[in-house]
């Protein structure tokens, strides 16, 4: 298993992973269009050009089997250290239950530590009870309520 | 009441606001040092130079009475739209209960909408039950668990 920053060529596979999720579908993410649209390419370019955003892919046998997005956020608390926000974590359905997700999150936590972050945070839908156990096992504490407002 | 992006001169007042909070104190934020240290200045400079990070202050009678930090995060979901993450929301103790917090959050939501964000999100400590009611009243849904890992 290899973890690395996504390239432009990885974007369709990442979109497939994002769409392959029941809760995301309920939210209306919908099916992946045949062609990636201009706004999605622009978002990839924005992430790619930004030192504080990283789209990560997990690669196995030359296939993209997992992804997440990292955002490193500067702040005045905690002695000026950055915090890492993890978003959009996905493991391909046929690869779940093999420890790959744990490897991916541990890799991101190590990346945050090396960069000097003092905290790593994420939110996960309250219906994802498997995910809650997964993050607790990795040492995370469910100390916060996660509020969302769709615009 | 006026809301604007913080300048360097506002930093000591923002640090006072961040420290003036029981849960933050328990986390060991500690008292504000007499002089702002180099790492905290560097964090301010990083926020100030970053188009996707904004330190906001609420000003009343030429005094800083509230603050929050906004991070606009590009992503491949939601048609490539940004999401807004709100962090470090504080209202000065003597100004609470007057609707100022609501005004601040509504102003940030409007800012997100103008920028084309499709979602606004934040986490708040599970012990802050007043804050939970506050965000629910502003239209936010507590749909997620907020996980944190201190490094």
- Verify whether the Cβ–Cβ distance B119 to A151 is below 8 Å: yes
Q: What is the mean pLDDT of chain A?
A: 93
The pTM for the full model equals 0.95
Q: Is B2-137 a CATH 3.30.1360.40 domain?
A: no
Residue B21: pLDDT band with limits 50, 70, 90? confident
- Verify whether the Cβ–Cβ distance A123 to B144 is below 8 Å: yes
Question: What are the residues whose beta carbons fall under 8 Å from the beta carbon of B26, sequence distance 6 or more?
Answer: none
**ipTM of the prediction:** 0.94
Domain definitions of chain A by residue range = 2-137
Contact list, B74 vs chain A (CB under 8 Å): 43, 46-47, 50, 53
- Verify whether the Cβ–Cβ distance B118 to A150 is below 8 Å: yes
Contact list, B44 vs chain A (CB under 8 Å): 76, 80
Minimum-distance CB partner of A149 among B74, B78, B109? B109
In B, residues 27-56, which contact A (CB 8 Å cutoff)?
29, 37, 39-44, 46-47, 50, 52-53, 55
Residue A28: pLDDT band with limits 50, 70, 90? low
Tell me the per-residue pLDDT of A84-98, one tens digit each, with 9 for 90 and over: 999 999 999 999 989
Higher pLDDT, B25 or A18: A18
Is the minimum CB–CB distance between B95 and chain A shorter than 8 Å? no
Question: What are the residues whose beta carbons fall under 8 Å from the beta carbon of B79, sequence distance 6 or more?
Answer: A37, A39, A40, B118
What is the predicted pLDDT for the residue at A143? 98
Residue A71: pLDDT band with limits 50, 70, 90? very high
Q: How far is A47 from chain B (nearest CA, A)?
A: 6
Question: What are the residues whose beta carbons fall under 8 Å from the beta carbon of B67, sequence distance 6 or more?
Answer: B6, B14, B17, B18, B55, B56, B57, B58, B88, B89, B90
- Mean pLDDT, rounded, for B13-18: 95
What is the predicted pLDDT for the residue at A36? 87
User: Quick one: closest CA in A to B27, which residue?
Assistant: A78
Backbone angles phi, psi at A73, to 5 degrees: -115, 120
């Amino acid at each position: 298993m290899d973890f690395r920053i996504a390239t432009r060529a990885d974007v369709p596979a990442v979109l497939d992973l994002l769409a392959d999720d029941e809760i995301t579908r309920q939210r209306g993410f919908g099916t992946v269009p045949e062609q990636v649209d201009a706004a999605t390419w622009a978002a990839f370019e924005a992430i790619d050009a930004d030192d504080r955003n990283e789209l990560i892919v997990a690669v196995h046998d030359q296939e993209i089997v997992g992804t997440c997005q990292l955002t490193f956020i500067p702040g005045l608390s905690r002695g000026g250290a950055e915090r890492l926000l993890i978003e959009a974590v996905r493991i391909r359905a046929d690869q779940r239950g093999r420890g790959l997700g744990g490897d991916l999150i541990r890799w991101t936590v190590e990346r945050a530590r090396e960069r000097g972050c003092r905290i790593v945070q994420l939110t996960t839908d309250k219906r994802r009870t498997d995910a809650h156990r997964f993050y607790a096992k990795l040492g995370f504490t469910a100390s916060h309520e996660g509020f969302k407002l769709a615009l």
